[in-house]
Amino acid sequence: MLKFIGKRLLMLIPVLLGISIIVLLLLEITPGDPASMMLGTQATPERVAVLREQLGLDDPIYVRYINFIKGIFKGDFGTSFLTKRAVYDDMVMRIPYTLILVGISIGFSVILGIPLGVFAATRHNTWKDNGAMFIALFFVSMPVFWFSLLLVRLFGVQLRWFPISGIDTWQGWILPVVSMSLGFIATIARQTRSNMLEVVRQDYIVTAKAKGLTDRKVIYRHALKNAMIPVIMVIGSLFGLMIGGALITEVIFGLPGLGVYTLAGLTGRDYPVIQGSVFILSVMFSLVILIVDVIFAIVDPRIRSQYGHKSQKKRGVGEQLEEEPQEIET
């Protein structure tokens, strides 16, 4: 298992370097000059040139990239062009809000999505199954920003049950979490249902029922464990989608998270903010994918056996692992 985790960690290095290069290239080719935006349209070319030199924008692109990588190892992501504050300090204050929002939303989605999928699968082709999947499809098809605005309109403006902006109290988290969770609850439910329907047709499930086990034990002890393997991968990929959804949700509900900070950097052409935020978001997403891979290896013995048993050997791509014959002592 340690070898498995080590290989995954090494794979993160070129991924993060590639992302940082792509972000810098996109900033370079995107129209617009940060110095001109900061000084306004009335600024003279001389003032713009002086400011560009002060911000380091006249340096070659490879020099700026090397300086950015050096700063990462020192924990320095530069200084914001607009606020003149250290980007690292601003991100440290904002990251917890984004993690809380995404973490609660993921947990809420898993807690409700998996039982809903099991409920639909165990009542296949009934009105309960069709009704649950219709509701799931409805919320999957609904854009996050539109649903967020509906919640603000109904529960914040008309009914006044929850605050529409800020997180001064715990009630301020309810609408953002609900707006982000419902679509992902539906996604997890549909994936769980599909996997459960495939698993319950397997021979070992039929054998378990023939032994006289109750339906509850068959479903939750045997079928669900195997059906969860693809669902775990879906949950990991949902984290990246939730990060994207957090950018919109934080703006709508006025949460001081990393999403609002990144959006402010994009609109203001604040290069250090954009580079630092995207890099941190990439690290967060990569670590979650690593955790999902580890969980996937723990749940699926076929993955774990590649690294945990020396007696097994790898064969060609697409071939199954084959155990070496062992002598039987008599």
26-38: pLDDT as tens digits: 887 877 777 777 7
Residue 21 is assigned to a structural domain of this protein: no
Count other Cβ atoms within 10 Å, centred on residue 210: 8
CA neighbor of 23 nearest in space, from 69, 56, 55: 69
Q: Which residue has the tokens 């692109």?
A: 61
Q: In the prediction, which pLDDT does 312 show?
A: 44
Q: In the prediction, which pLDDT does 291 show?
A: 79
154-207: pLDDT as tens digits: 887 888 788 777 777 777 788 888 888 887 888 888 888 888 887 777 777 777
Question: Which CATH number belongs to the domain containing residue 108 in this structure?
Answer: 1.10.3720.10
Q: Say if CB 196 and CB 153 are below 8 A apart.
A: no
Residue 285 is assigned to a structural domain of this protein: yes
CA dihedral 130, 136, 140, 145 (to 10 degrees): 130
pTM recorded for the entire structure: 0.74
Count other Cβ atoms within 10 Å, centred on residue 53: 12
Residue 140 is assigned to a structural domain of this protein: yes
Residue 76 is assigned to a structural domain of this protein: no
What CA–CA distance (Å, rounded) separates 186 from 307? Answer: 35
pLDDT tens by residue, the chain, 330 residues:
677 677 777 877 888 888 888 888 888 787 777 777 777 777 777 887 887 787 777 778 888 888 888 888 888 888 888 888 888 888 888 888 888 888 888 888 888 888 888 888 878 778 888 888 888 888 777 777 788 888 888 887 888 788 777 777 777 788 888 888 887 888 888 888 888 887 777 777 777 777 776 777 777 776 777 777 777 777 777 777 777 777 788 888 878 888 888 888 888 888 888 888 888 888 888 887 777 777 777 766 665 555 554 434 444 444 444 444 444 343
Q: In the prediction, which pLDDT does 30 show?
A: 77
What CA–CA distance (Å, rounded) separates 311 from 325? Answer: 9
Token digits of residue 3: 């070898």
Q: Which domain does 167 fall in, by range?
A: 98-308
CA neighbor of 257 nearest in space, from 283, 280, 287: 280
Residue 58 is assigned to a structural domain of this protein: no
Q: In the prediction, which pLDDT does 313 show?
A: 44
Residue 262 is assigned to a structural domain of this protein: yes
Q: In the prediction, which pLDDT does 278 show?
A: 85
Q: In the prediction, which pLDDT does 306 show?
A: 56
Averaged pLDDT of the chain: 77
Residue 64 is assigned to a structural domain of this protein: no
DSSP state of 173: G
Residue 19 is assigned to a structural domain of this protein: no
Q: What is the tally of structural domains in the chain?
A: 1
